[in-house]
Structure 1
Amino acid sequence: MQTDSSFTFVLFGGTGDLSMRKILPALFEAHRAGGMLAASGKIVAVARHVSDRAGYLEWVNEHVKPHVSKNGVDEAAWASFLQRIEFAKIDLGNPEDFVLLRDAIKDLPGIRVFYLATGPSLFVPICHALASVGLNENARIVLEKPLGYDLKSSNAINDAVGEIFAEEQIYRIDHYLGKEPVQNLLALRFGNALFEPLWRREWVESIQITIAEELGVEARGDFYDNTGALRDMVQNHLLQLLSIVAMEPPHSMDSDSVRDEKLRVLRALKPIDPDEIGKVAVRGQYHAGVIRGTSVPAYATEPGVKPDSTTETFVALKVEIENWRWAGVPFFLRTGKRLADRVAEIVVNFRAVPHSALGASALRAGANRLVIRLQPNETIRLYCLAKQPGEGMNLASVHLDLAFDRFFREGQMEAYQRLLLDVINGRLALFVRRDEQEAAWRWVEPILNEWAASHKPPKPYAAGTWGPAAASAMLAQHGTCWLEEEN
Structure 2
Amino acid sequence: MVSRVIPVDPFDLVIFGGTGDLARRKILPGLYRRFWDGQMPPEARIIGAARSEMDEASYRAFVRDAVTEFVSKRKCDSELLDQFIERLSYVAVDARGEDGWEQLAGMMRDGVVKAYYFSVGPSLFGDIAERLHRFKIADDDARIVVEKPFGHNLETARALNATLARHFDETQIYRIDHYLGKETVQNLMAVRFGNMLFEPLWNAQYVDHIQITVAETVGVGGRGDYYDRSGAMRDMVQNHLMQLLCLTAMEPPSKFDPDAVRDEKLKVIRALEPVEPHDIVRGQYRSKDESYLVDVENKDSLTESFVAMKVHIANWRWNGTPFYLRTGKRMKERVSEIVVRFKEPPHSIFEEDTGQSANELTIRLQPNEGMDLTVTIKEPGPGGMRLIDVPLDMTFAEALGEEAADVPDAYERLIMDVIRGNQTLFMRGDEVEAAWAWTDPIINGWEAREDKPKPYEPGSTGPEEALILLHKDERRWRELRA
TM range (shorter): over 0.9
Structure 2 unaligned blocks of 5 or more: none
SS at match of 2:221: coil
- Residue aligning to 2:408: 413
Q: 2:164 aligns with which of 143, 157, 161?
A: 161
Which TM-score applies when normalising by structure 1? 0.94
Residues 1:187 and 2:178 aligned together: no
Task: Tell me, in whole angstroms, the C-alpha distance in 2 between the residues paired with 1:211 and 1:226.
Answer: 20
Q: How big is each residue's C-alpha offset from its partner over 1:333-356, in whole Å with a ceiling of 9 and x where there is no partner?
A: 011111111000000000000111
**Are the counterparts in 1 of residues 114 and 142 from structure 2 also a CA contact under 8 Å?**
yes
| CA 66–102 in structure 1, closer or farther in 2 if over 3 Å, else same | same
- Residue aligning to 2:218: 215
Letter in 2 for 1:61: R
Shift in Å, 1:69: 2.2
- Residue aligning to 2:292: 299
Residues 1:172 and 2:175 aligned together: yes
SS at match of 2:222: coil
- Residue aligning to 1:384: 375
Residues 1:431 and 2:422 aligned together: no
Task: Tell me, in whole angstroms, the C-alpha distance in 1 between the residues paired with 2:480 and 2:177.
Answer: 29
Alignment of 1:85-164 (within 5 A): 85-105=88-108, 107=109, 110-137=112-139, 138-164=141-167
Identity score, percent: 47
Shift in Å, 1:309: 1.3
Task: Tell me, in whole angstroms, the C-alpha distance in 2 between the residues paired with 1:86 and 1:149.
Answer: 34
Task: Tell me, in whole angstroms, the C-alpha distance in 2 between the residues paired with 1:363 and 1:446.
Answer: 43
- Residue aligning to 2:474: 479
Task: Tell me, in whole angstroms, the C-alpha distance in 1 between the residues paired with 2:303 and 2:78.
Answer: 45
Shift in Å, 1:186: 0.6
**Are the counterparts in 2 of residues 40 and 109 from structure 1 also a CA contact under 8 Å?**
no
Task: Tell me, in whole angstroms, the C-alpha distance in 1 between the residues paired with 2:341 and 2:191.
Answer: 16
**Are the counterparts in 1 of residues 310 and 322 from structure 2 also a CA contact under 8 Å?**
yes
SS at match of 1:442: helix
- Residue aligning to 1:358: 350
Task: Tell me, in whole angstroms, the C-alpha distance in 2 between the residues paired with 1:145 and 1:283.
Answer: 22
Task: Tell me, in whole angstroms, the C-alpha distance in 1 between the residues paired with 2:221 and 2:271.
Answer: 36
Task: Tell me, in whole angstroms, the C-alpha distance in 1 between the residues paired with 2:408 and 2:351.
Answer: 44
Task: Tell me, in whole angstroms, the C-alpha distance in 2 between the residues paired with 1:425 and 1:98.
Answer: 26
Q: How big is each residue's C-alpha offset from its partner over 1:431-467, in whole Å with a ceiling of 9 and x where there is no partner?
A: 0011111111000001110122122221111110111
- Residue aligning to 2:34: 30
SS at match of 1:358: coil
SS at match of 1:99: helix
Q: How big is each residue's C-alpha offset from its partner over 1:105-159, in whole Å with a ceiling of 9 and x where there is no partner?
A: 2x36511110011111111111111111122313100010001100000100100
- Residue aligning to 2:464: 469
SS at match of 1:44: strand
Letter in 1 for 2:312: E
Structure 1 unaligned blocks of 5 or more: 290-294
SS at match of 1:171: strand
Task: Tell me, in whole angstroms, the C-alpha distance in 1 between the residues paired with 2:419 and 2:459.
Answer: 40
- Residue aligning to 1:267: 270
- Residue aligning to 2:283: 284
**Are the counterparts in 2 of residues 373 and 380 from structure 1 also a CA contact under 8 Å?**
yes
Shift in Å, 1:52: 0.8
- Residue aligning to 1:249: 252
**Are the counterparts in 2 of residues 355 and 363 from structure 1 also a CA contact under 8 Å?**
no
- Residue aligning to 1:341: 333
Task: Tell me, in whole angstroms, the C-alpha distance in 2 between the residues paired with 1:364 and 1:348.
Answer: 17
Letter in 2 for 1:384: V
- Residue aligning to 1:19: 23
- Moved beyond 6 Å, runs of 4+: none
Shift in Å, 1:305: 3.0
Task: Tell me, in whole angstroms, the C-alpha distance in 1 between the residues paired with 2:8 and 2:240.
Answer: 32
Letter in 2 for 1:405: A
Kindly tell me the number of residue pairs found equivalent between the two proteins: 473
| CA 399–8 in structure 1, closer or farther in 2 if over 3 Å, else same | same
Task: Tell me, in whole angstroms, the C-alpha distance in 2 between the residues paired with 1:361 and 1:370.
Answer: 23
The more displaced of 401-410 and 203-212 is 401-410
Task: Tell me, in whole angstroms, the C-alpha distance in 2 between the residues paired with 1:95 and 1:218.
Answer: 35
| CA 72–418 in structure 1, closer or farther in 2 if over 3 Å, else same | closer
Residues 1:310 and 2:314 aligned together: no
What's the RMSD between the two structures over aligned residues? 1.7
Task: Tell me, in whole angstroms, the C-alpha distance in 1 between the residues paired with 2:202 and 2:191.
Answer: 11
Q: How big is each residue's C-alpha offset from its partner over 1:466-487, in whole Å with a ceiling of 9 and x where there is no partner?
A: 1111111111111101100799
Which TM-score applies when normalising by structure 2? 0.95
| CA 151–457 in structure 1, closer or farther in 2 if over 3 Å, else same | same
**Are the counterparts in 2 of residues 346 and 371 from structure 1 also a CA contact under 8 Å?**
yes
The more displaced of 324-333 and 65-74 is 65-74
Q: How big is each residue's C-alpha offset from its partner over 1:55-85, in whole Å with a ceiling of 9 and x where there is no partner?
A: 1122223334211126462222211111111
Task: Tell me, in whole angstroms, the C-alpha distance in 1 between the residues paired with 2:480 and 2:90.
Answer: 51
| CA 269–364 in structure 1, closer or farther in 2 if over 3 Å, else same | farther
Letter in 2 for 1:301: V
Task: Tell me, in whole angstroms, the C-alpha distance in 2 between the residues paired with 1:419 and 1:70.
Answer: 23
**Are the counterparts in 2 of residues 353 and 362 from structure 1 also a CA contact under 8 Å?**
no
Task: Tell me, in whole angstroms, the C-alpha distance in 1 between the residues paired with 2:74 and 2:208.
Answer: 42
**Are the counterparts in 2 of residues 352 and 363 from structure 1 also a CA contact under 8 Å?**
no
Shift in Å, 1:363: 7.7
Letter in 2 for 1:197: P
Residues 1:40 and 2:33 aligned together: no
Task: Tell me, in whole angstroms, the C-alpha distance in 1 between the residues paired with 2:355 and 2:269.
Answer: 33
- Residue aligning to 1:292: none
**Are the counterparts in 2 of residues 284 and 313 from structure 1 also a CA contact under 8 Å?**
yes
**Are the counterparts in 2 of residues 340 and 463 from structure 1 also a CA contact under 8 Å?**
yes
Task: Tell me, in whole angstroms, the C-alpha distance in 2 between the residues paired with 1:82 and 1:136.
Answer: 24
